[in-house]
Structure 1
Amino acid sequence: MKIGEASRVSGVSARSLRHYEDEGLIVPGRFDNGFRDYCQSTIDRVLVIRSLLESGLPVRLIRDVLPQLTGGHDAGADAVCGEFLHEVESYRDRLAARIAHLSEQQAALDAYLRQARRTGS
């Protein structure tokens, strides 16, 4: 399928598809006229990429681990998977710290609002 249809099917913009290709995350086929040709396995890979990017993982790590997540395996799979798991855990920990900080801020604002409503009534 051409890039427009691939964009529609995957929910990823044509610009993002081109970016994924530039980053080496996908390698679409080419028609004789040079247009990109996206097969279903490439669309499936795009969906994995999108999910990983939305979770905040860096492109560098996604590029390294993507072969293991989409069915291809190479000699460094164990090391990559170990690094990937460490990176995911680290990201999760940073996210948990941010959530805790935001929860504290929310609690402080709630306390302020309760106090303001008591004194303002």
Structure 2
Amino acid sequence: MKKMPSQKWMTVGELSRRTGASVRSIRHYDEHGLLASVRASNGYRTFPDQAVTQVRQIQRMIATGFTIEDIRGFPDCMLLIEGARSCDQITDVQRKRLKAIERQIADLEKRRARLVKMLLEGAVPPV
């Protein structure tokens, strides 16, 4: 019988170095159930190799505006496959996030226009 390769484990510091994520962020992801860690005999958290992919995927999703709560609802394939394409199950969440971002942009454009007007006219324009 062929022996399966043993799982490699790493410390939170090593995971941080390999992903560029802060130790604090990794702990936050772990505390919210996005990563699977185990406690070593010394009490420190250790993470399997697949955590590198998971952290990178989490970072990508956060960079596009998703929250930890949003990400917790995504299917595992979104976290376990680096560069995974969106699944049908999250299309609605993506559309909602896009609408929220578009509302924020519109609000910022209005604020910018008011500030420009204030600078040109020297007075605070009415709301």
Q: TM-score scaled by structure 1? A: 0.70
User: Which of 8, 11, 15 is equivalent to 1:2?
Assistant: 11
Higher helix share: 1
Q: More deviation in 49-58 or 30-39? A: 30-39
| One of 6, 21, 41 as aligned partner of 2:50 | 41
C-alpha contact (below 8 Å) 1:61/1:84 kept by paired residues: no
5+ residue gaps, structure 2, are 1-9, 82-86, 123-127
How many angstroms does 1:93 deviate by? 0.7
Q: Which of these residues, 8, 22, 33, is aligned with residue 24 of structure 1?
A: 33
Deviation at 1:106, TM superposition (A): 0.8
Question: Residues 11-68 of structure 1: CA distance to partner in whole angstroms, max 9, x if unpaired?
Answer: 2222222221221111135545443333432111111112223333232331221412
1:62 maps to which of 63, 71, 79 = 71
Separation in 2, partners of 1:64, 1:18 = 19
Aligned residues: 108
1:105 alignment counterpart: 111
SS at match of 1:70: helix
The 2-side partners of 1:25 and 1:97 are apart by: 28
User: In the alignment, which residue of structure 2 is the partner of 1:94?
Assistant: 100
> Are the counterparts in 1 of residues 39 and 45 from structure 2 also a CA contact under 8 Å?
yes
1:111 to partner: Cα distance: 2.4
Output the aligned Cα RMSD. Answer: 2.4
Deviation at 1:112, TM superposition (A): 2.7
TM-score by length of 2: 0.68
Kindly tell me: are residues 54 and 4 of structure 1, through their superposed partners in 2, closer, same or farther at Cα, counting changes over 3 Å?
same
Give me the whole-angstrom Cα distance separating, in 1, the residues matched to 2:31 and 2:119.
50
Residue 78 of structure 1 corresponds to which residue in structure 2?
A: none
Identity %: 28
Q: How far apart in 1 are the matches of 2:96 and 2:80?
A: 25
Runs of 5+ in structure 1 lacking a partner? Answer: 73-80, 117-121
